[in-house]
Amino acid sequence: MTQNPTYLINGSFDQSISPFDRGFAYGDGVFRTLAVKAGQPIHWALHYQKLVEDCAAIGIVCPRAELLIDDIKLLFAPHAEEVMVAKIIITRGEGERGYAIPSISTPTRILIKSLLPSYADALYVEGVTLHLCETRLSVQPKLAGIKHLNRLENVIARSEWQDEMLFDGLLLDAQDHVIECTMSNIFTRFGDELLTPDLSQNGVAGITRQRILHLAKSLNLITKVQALPFTHLLKADEVLICNSLYGAFQVTRILDKIWTPQPLANQIRSLLVHD
């Protein structure tokens, strides 16, 4: 055990990743990123449910919640008062060379601790600017919605910009439909309708997106999940992005299109925190 451990592998401070781990060989696994406060994972029930579903979608049996909770308590105990970030990775475990899934394999579980990114005050007041990614998301219904370890598209898309004023990158598919951002889901408001793209063909269906879809009713908004052409997004009254770490931000600029700051993102963020 090192003095300031930042990760656990299968509950141990001393283990390492084998090069035979299929998470490493093929990206054969899934992950989640969540906030941990006072040693407690925030919105754990939803995160764990999504982790189980994503594992199941590629035929991995997710470790029991108790094991993961014990990991979190062990790794985050010294930071009981801070809000920190937990990344949980579950892989199919080790296997021989070849794509065939081993008849017997034990999933590998990794917990990584990191600092919460610091979000400038201006982001809450003035909103965020998005880069429009040239990289297009591919279509793969068998992996759509899953937060799996095959993330080269995100890496390539994220490499398109260095400007720190660009908070995230907007990802379209090859037909110019809006899908998501590299690390966020996206919502658009048209009047009293809150619309988020359908993620049945690609994208990652995050739990903050799911939570916003549920809490919209309390804001007298009607929710819609459907295809969203980029030209349609540009006509929205308001555009929001969300994830488990920052909650929600308003998008106030994409290319030359500018939206004036409005209160919805702050209202949603407040509901997300107190929900």
Residue of the chain from 33, 184, 185, 208 that contacts its own copies (CB under 8 A)? 33
Q: Say whether 180 is catalytic.
A: yes
x/- letters, 40..69, toward its own copies (CB under 8 A): ------------------xx----------
Integer angstrom CA distances of residue 153 from 30, 88, 191: 15, 20, 33
Tokens 């008849």 label which residue? 103
Q: Of the listed 37, 73, 87, 147, which one is catalytic? A: 147
244 binds its own copies (CB under 8 A): no
97 binds its own copies (CB under 8 A): yes
Q: What is the maximal distance between C-alpha atoms in the chain?
A: 56
Within residues 141-160, the interface with its own copies by CB under 8 A covers 142-143, 148-159
165 binds its own copies (CB under 8 A): no
What angle do the packed helices 44-57 and 65-76 form, to 10 degrees? 120
CA nearest to 156, candidates 178, 131, 175, 177:
131
* Strands (DSSP E) found in 104-245: 108-115, 128-132, 166-172, 178-181, 185-190, 193-197, 222-226, 238-243
Distance CA 153, CA 135 (A): 8
- The region of 67-75, 99-107, 121-129, 250-258 touching its own copies under the rule CB under 8 A is 99-107
119 binds its own copies (CB under 8 A): no
Q: Say whether 147 is catalytic.
A: yes
Q: Is the separation of the CB atoms in 95 and 219 below 8 Å?
A: no
- Which sequence positions are flagged as catalytic? 33, 147, 180
Binding-site ranges for its own copies (CB under 8 A): 7, 9, 16-28, 31, 33, 58-59, 85, 87, 89, 96-101, 110, 112, 114, 135-136, 138-140, 142-143, 148-159, 174, 182-183, 202
